[in-house]
Amino acid sequence: MPTAAETTIVQARNLQKSFKRDSFEVKALDDVSIDIAEGEFLALMGPSGSGKTTLLNMIAAIDRPTGGELLVMGENIFRLSDQQSAKWRNEKIGYIFQSFNLIPVLTAFENVELPLLLTKLNKQERRDHVLTALKLVGLEDRVHHLPKQLSGGQEQRVAIARAIVTDPQILLADEPTGDLDSHSAAEVLEIMTRLNQDAKKTVVMVTHDPHAAAYAHLTRHLEKGMLLPA
C-alpha cells in the first residue's frame, strides 16, 4: 500500500484567498483543504463565485493564496519565482480554458507547438509531438487550419492537444464544455476520460454541468469559498 505522500499529487491545507471590494472583504477561498490523488479525475462544482476557478488557478500557480499551503507534486509552488513558476507550468501543467484561448493568427499546428518552443526539442521532434497530439484528439486533418476555420468543438480539441503536447502530469480544465454544444461537449469529455484512463493524467475539471461532472470519478462542491464535505 503506497503512502499518502506518494499518491497525493495535490495537497492543499487551509487555503485562503480574500480581497477587498469597496469596504467589504470578499473571501474567494475560505479555509480549503483538499488532497487530490495521482490519476484522479476530479470535478469541482458549485455556483458562480464559489471559488472553483480560484482553486484551479492556484494549482496552476497563476494565482496566489493569502493564507495556507499548497503542494503540487511535492513542490511548494508559491515559493517559485515568476520565471520558475512559468517554467514549472510549462513542464507539469496542461490548462484547458472554457473559451479555448487559441491564438487566432496561428494555425492549429502552430498553436499546439507553442509550449514546445520552450523545451529543448528540435524542429523535427516538435513536429512529431505536435502531430501525435493532434492525432490523439482526432484532428490530424486540420493541422494547417486557423482557429476561425474550425468549429467550437474542434477548437477545444486543438486546445486539449496544446495542453497535453508537453506530456504534463496534471490537466486542469476550467469549464471545458461551457461554450460547446452537447455533441462536441461529449467528444471533449471522452477525450479527457481517455487521457485520464489510458495516459494516466490527473484531471481536475471545474464545471457547472452535472452531465460533464458525471464523467469524473469524484465530484467535490464549493460554496461561498468553502469546500463542502465529500
Partner 1 sequence: MAIPFSYNLRNLRLRLGATVMTAMGIALTVAIAIFIMALLAGLKAAFVTSGDPLNVLVMRKGSQAELSSSVDRPALQAMKYLPGIARDAHGEPEVSPEMVVVIVLPRRDGTGEVNVTVRGMTPMGIEMRPAIHLASGRWFNPGQREIVVSNSIHQRFGHANLGDTVSFGKGEWTVVGVFDAGHTSSDSEIWTDVNQMATDFDRPVFSSVLLHADSAVAADALAHRVSEDQRLELDGMLESAYYAEQTKSGAPIQFVGTVVAFIMAIGSCFAAMNTMYAAVAYRGREIATLRILGFSRPSILTSFVLESIALSLLGGLAGILLMLPFNGMTTGTSNAVTFSEVVFRLQLTPALLLKAIAFSAIMGLIGGLAPAWQASRRDIVAALRS
| Minimum separation from the CB atom of position 80 to partner 1 (A) | 12
Identify the residue among 83, 124, 141, 229 touching partner 1 (CB under 8 A). 83
Here the cell at position 144 is 494547417
Closer to partner 1 at the Cβ: 8 or 12? 12
Torsion of CA 146, 149, 150, 155, to 10 degrees: 30
- Between residues 26 and 118, which has the closer beta carbon with respect to partner 1? 118
Considering only residues 160-219, where is the footprint of partner 1 by CB under 8 A?
A: 162
Quick check: 104 binds partner 1 (CB under 8 A)? yes
Query: For helices 152-164 and 182-197, what crossing angle results, to 10°?
Result: 20
Query: What stretch of H or E contains 60?
Result: none
Q: How far apart are CA 36 and CA 47, in angstroms?
A: 21
Q: How far is the CB of 34 from partner 1 (least distance, A)?
A: 20
- Out of 7, 14, 18, 90, point to the residue binding partner 1 (CB under 8 A): 90
Please check whether residue 102 is in contact with residue 148, taking contact to mean a CB–CB distance below 8 angstroms. no
In the chain, the DSSP E strands lie at 8-21, 24-37, 41-45, 67-72, 75-76, 93-96, 170-174, 202-206, 218-223, 226-227
Size of the site for partner 1 (CB under 8 A): 25
* Residue 25 binding partner 1, by CB under 8 A: no
* Contact status: 229 vs partner 1 (CB under 8 A): no
User: H-helix or E-strand containing 126?
Assistant: helix 123-136
Q: Which is nearer to partner 1, 79 or 123 (CB)?
A: 123
Residue 97 near partner 1 by CB under 8 A? yes
Contacts to partner 1 by CB under 8 A: 57, 60, 62-63, 82-83, 86-87, 89-91, 95, 97, 99, 101, 103-106, 110, 114-115, 117-118, 162
